[in-house]
Amino acid sequence: MFEEVFRKLTCDGSAVLSGSIAAGLSTTYNAAVQAVRLVEACIVCVDSHSIVVPIAHLTLAAARHPAQGATLEECGYPGQNVA
């Protein structure tokens, strides 16, 4: 599923920042990382280490930072696992 979505989102050259619920609570993060290995595109996966609140912060930061010239990796939530 992640592979298909990532391919659709990046087919025009767009980059993707994917935030997932805690890897310790779900396989979502690991599934996203596996898909990144199959898709040749600029995709960054972030393990939120939580369920909801950090993902909301990640989303807000991701929306703000590119307008300020930040790289995709810099848009991740500080202190979180990034792949």
- Note the pLDDT tens digit of each residue in 50-72: 776 666 776 777 776 666 777 76
| pLDDT given at position 20 | 85
Instruction: Count up the domains in the chain and report the number.
Output: 1
What percentage of the chain reaches a pLDDT higher than 70? 71
Residue 12 belongs to domain spanning: 2-82
* pTM to 2 decimal places: 0.69
Residue partners of 46: CB distance under 8 A and separation at least 6: 17, 18, 19, 20, 58, 76, 77, 80, 81, 82
Does pLDDT of 36 surpass 90? yes
Give me 26's structure tokens: 């779900």
- Note the pLDDT tens digit of each residue in 12-25: 999 888 888 888 88
Whichever domain contains 12, its CATH number is 3.40.50.10170
Backbone phi and psi for residue 2, each to the nearest 5 degrees, phi listed first: -60, -40
